[in-house]
Amino acid sequence: MHTTVGIIGGGPAGLLLARLLHNAGIDSVVLESRDRAYVEQRQRAGILEQATVDVLRAAGAGERLDREGMPHDGIELRHGRRAHRVDFPTLTDGRRVWVYAQTEVVKDLIALQLVDGGPLHFEAEVHAVEAADTDRPVIRYTHEGREQTLTCDYVVGCDGFHGVTKNAVPEGVRTTYERTYPYSWLGILADAPPVYDELIYAHSERGFALASMRSESVSRLYLQVPNGTDPADWSDERIWDELDARFALDANREWRLKRGTVTSKAVLPMRSHVTEPMRYGRVFLAGDAAHIVPPTGAKGLNLAAADVIVLARAFAHLKDTGSADLLDAYSDTCLRRVWRAEHFSYFMTTTLHADPEQSPFETKLQLSQLDRIATSEHAAAELAENYTGLPLDPADTRQ
């Protein structure tokens, strides 16, 4: 087979790219190593930036999002047993975020792809990307028990941190920047209605906690735990008790979470990682294949979407004008946004978590920073602008 763009990875980045290319009249093939059921149930991010929502709507994938997604106009920060709300629209000229799980984004995009998009092959295990620096790169993969090849004009790796595409970029060409954190998140899904309207980020002496949601009846909650924690060591009752302790307020001592059946429990490590450049020859990296952020800033899915939006526009520009200028600028264009998101995610993570090695002096610095956000419109605006997402259009100067 031959296609214009071979896309490795059928997660939200790969599927969104395929949809945007289809709408621009550019053919593609998507190869996904897992089966459809696994992809549609893979739990990941749940916060969509304004720009991501706008693009999904324009791509034809916004109908269910608008019906079932939950728009949020702010977040609540808790520290020192006090609460402060950061109002996004007031601070960002009207921008907001949506709670709509990655599983639902993927379901919507798969449905569109299967109705009128290009080929989407599940259980297609990619082994290698070859001839990346030629005008006909090759994807070698196994599908339906047969080894196959797909020649492409271009290859886009949306196959995640452990995918094979980044191996097409020679070690002497790519540079890796990374940081690991001395703590993890214990995350749960629970059949319990949220008692809060917006996400709550809590800094406490006991460690960080986050209250999120998946719907009006399902809560998504996180606790900071030591690296190497076994989820089995945490009973449901212990988790609920610890969450209540970390979210406690002096002004409302009766505030408690609603408890329900815990349906999922997992420990998530925290990592920052960037691979540069995001292009080698005719192979491009997008999403987690190129960068990882700790989840504290809600940037992972949105960064991946931004990558493929930039890339789809570059392919459309090539098709319409014959110019590869935007493709040539892809890596530099994306990395400017990537490093801003990396910095914001690092800031949120290190400000809100209790490092086991930190001194009382460093804890006081964290509390001072949180106090400034609570008392300074400029500091709150900086957080709000980064959280809701920087503009995708370079002509938009709201930064």
Q: Any residues with CB less than 8 A from the CB of 88 and at least 6 apart, and which?
A: 72, 73, 74, 75, 95, 96, 97, 384, 387, 388
Q: Would residue 222 show up in a list of annotated catalytic residues for this protein?
A: no
State the distance between the two ends of the chain, measured CA to CA, in whole angstroms: 44
Q: Would residue 72 show up in a list of annotated catalytic residues for this protein?
A: yes
Q: Would residue 183 show up in a list of annotated catalytic residues for this protein?
A: no
| Closest listed residue to residue 49, CA positions, set 387, 397, 392 | 387
Cβ-based burial of 1 (10 A; exposed 0-12, middle 13-18, buried ≥19): exposed
Helices 12-23 + 102-116 axis angle, to 10: 40
Q: Given the structure tokens 């997008």, which residue do they identify?
A: 286
The catalytically annotated residue of 201, 222, 280, 330 is 201
| Closest listed residue to residue 129, CA positions, set 146, 151, 145 | 151
Q: Given the structure tokens 């993969």, which residue do they identify?
A: 141
The catalytically annotated residue of 12, 22, 72, 137 is 72
Strand order, beta sheet including 97-99: 47-49, 97-99, 70-72
Q: Would residue 346 show up in a list of annotated catalytic residues for this protein?
A: no
Active site residues: 72, 201, 295, 299, 387
